[in-house]
Amino acid sequence: MAKNLILWLIIAAVLLAVFNKLETSTPSQEVNYSQFIQHVQVGEVKKVTISGSLIEGVFDNGTRFETVSPGYDASLMDELLRNKVEVQGKKAEQQSIWTQLLVASFPILVIIAVFMFFMRQMQGGGGGGRGPMAFGKSKAKLLGEDQIKTTFADVAGCDEAKEDVKELVEFLRDPAKYQRLGGKIPRGVLMVGQPGTGKTLLAKAIAGEAKVPFFSISGSDFVEMFVGVGASRVRDMFDQAKKQAPCIIFIDEIDAVGRSRGIGIGGGNDEREQTLNQLLVEMDGFEVNDGIIVIAATNRPDVLDPALLRPGRFDRQVVVGLPDIRGREQILKVHMRKVPVSDDVDAKVIARGTPGFSGADLANLVNEAALFAARANRSTVSMEEFEKAKDKIMMGAERKTMVMSDKEKTNTAYHEAGHAIVGRCVPEHDPVYKVSIIPRGRALGVTMFLPEEDRHSISKLGIESAICSLYGGRIAEEMTLGKDGVTTGASNDIERATAYARNYVTKWGLSEKLGAQLYSEREEQSYLGSSGGGNASHLSEETARMIDQEVTLLLENCYAKAKKILEDNRDKLEVMKDALMEYETIDAKQIDDIMDGRKPRAPQSWSSDDNGKGDAGNAPQAKVDVAADQTPDTGANNTVSEP
């Protein structure tokens, strides 16, 4: 900065001197040499100054002139003296040695300046560190303490996680409080949780509360095609952090660079392992990085290298889980501050009807509701818009332009009614919330089940009931259309029922014949954390045959149980089909009317009194299908009919 200022001052001084010289100089009249001689001969020239071939002078009237001698003229001096012209001689100006040197070296200086400019651009000096030569420079973005406005007040639904990280804030504010007792703050904090639970937001809140510089980078920013680049970036990032200490380094999706060594491709010298090794050294090596706290986030802690998780590196793991009903209410209130909501909107009612929702899901819910209100040209967001938003998120947007024949529509109504009736009758099943034959997303119809409360596990009887309800649609088609009229709409149901049954036997240890033993491959053994899709290589042929027999027996028993329920409620199946054909969508109260043998009431608009009291099953919400190869979570269950 100082060098640039001096350079501009020199340029300004030179320009000022040139302009002053131009302003002070008086314009001269140019005459040729013949005219000059004539003026001398008639006595009109008063004074001349001769400098080589250049002759400058003044006429009698005061006008200045100049001319150039074409060659040496021996008679000129006699002519000037004869006519009494005052003659002065002037020494020819010669450039100084510095001026000559500057003029001679100017082209070379220009070439050097251009070369340095392009080299600086390539190294990222003029492009924010993104030049092609800036391979080893860190891509971490530095946010100053005044740039981070997020605080713990903006983070809701994860009170336990906030308590775990609050002492980090206290340490960054007053490190002497811990150091005088010999305590050491964790060098690294690993935030673990499902996508959308607020791990990144919580890290920003820590930096916002502590008022310290915040370096943000993604794990993928370290990995390049050239070996050693990632390690260089790690070194550069920690070098920058040391200059800003105390500070926070936040690495998002650290599993991109922290995956266990030895399971990648390329052996022990690939780029990812070199980067991980450098990260391990920087976090706990010979050099001490006091005042630097590394916070990382991942939703795959199972694939991280053990050396990264040991004490001294990531000393503490903070689990940022899905919020419970109270947490969802708090998150909704945070997001509702940004939109004008009506008086009928009750965050508690919405929270009770959204089990399994993450913070990102709830933020999307509020945003979709605001968009619905804007389309309707309303000044506030009412509960009606929130209900429409939840249906759109969970079931997909309505495909109003899709044309369905009466036959296909009737078949879909039978299919969804079969799901609803079986789900209503089997024990330990989530209550039926809504049945619709309006095409949404890729589904021709949807049956939604809503749990009465947050759950973290499911019983053996509950799994069997879930399989029964999945088969309800297929059985209803078979009962009404015959075996030859069964459609492909139950493909998703069959896939999920089979996955449930196989996990029932091989993973959850619920088969009495095979016992509580794991027969499936562990997910961590595959490269990308998936099950691989193949058969378990460690099983004998006899064991594999027994597993297939147990899975088949379970599915057959559940199928028979669901068929018996529909046969006993054949009249209700017809009534529910007629209600779906008339209203297209029926809710829990209409389903209760049908199951109690009454005529279903006409659909009514939503009101807080209807959903704020009574069974939680009446609260209008469902969530995305639970993956059948995982332990069922707290969410509601959807059963869809595919085209």
Contacts of 532 (CB under 8 A, 6+ apart): 521, 525, 526
Residue-wise burial string across 150-188, b where 16 or more C-beta atoms lie within 10 A, e elsewhere = bebeebbbbeebbebbeebbebbeebeeeeeeeeebbbb
CA dihedral sign, ordered 396, 398, 403, 404: positive
Contacts of 226 (CB under 8 A, 6+ apart): 135, 271
- Whether omega before 306 lies within 30 degrees of 0, making that bond cis, reads no
Amino acid at 606: W
- Assign 57 to helix, strand or coil: strand
HSE-CB at 376 with a 13 A cutoff on CA atoms is 14
Specify the length of the chain in residues.
643
Nearest in space to 447 (alpha carbons), one of 404, 471, 417, 488? 417
- Assign 639 to helix, strand or coil: strand
- Cα(276)–Cα(260) distance, rounded to whole angstroms? 9
> Angle at Cα 191 formed by Cα 307 and Cα 355, nearest 5°?
135
- Residue 542 designated active-site: no
- Assign 628 to helix, strand or coil: coil
- Cα(433)–Cα(464) distance, rounded to whole angstroms? 20
How many CB atoms are located within 10 Å of the residue 520 CB?
A: 18
CA dihedral sign, ordered 475, 477, 482, 485: negative
Surface-to-core class of residue 147, CB atoms within 10 Å of its CB (0-12 exposed, 13-18 middle, 19+ buried): exposed
Q: How far is CA 455 from CA 89, 263, 425, 459, 530, in A?
A: 110, 35, 20, 11, 25
- Cα(433)–Cα(526) distance, rounded to whole angstroms? 39
- Cα(59)–Cα(39) distance, rounded to whole angstroms? 8
Inter-residue contact 383 to 373 (CB < 8 Å):
no
Residue-wise burial string across 314-334, b where 16 or more C-beta atoms lie within 10 A, e elsewhere = bbbebebbbbbbebbbbbbeb
Catalytic site residue from 282, 416, 477, 550: 416
What are φ and ψ of residue 532, in 5° steps? 90, -30
- Residues labelled as active-site residues: 416
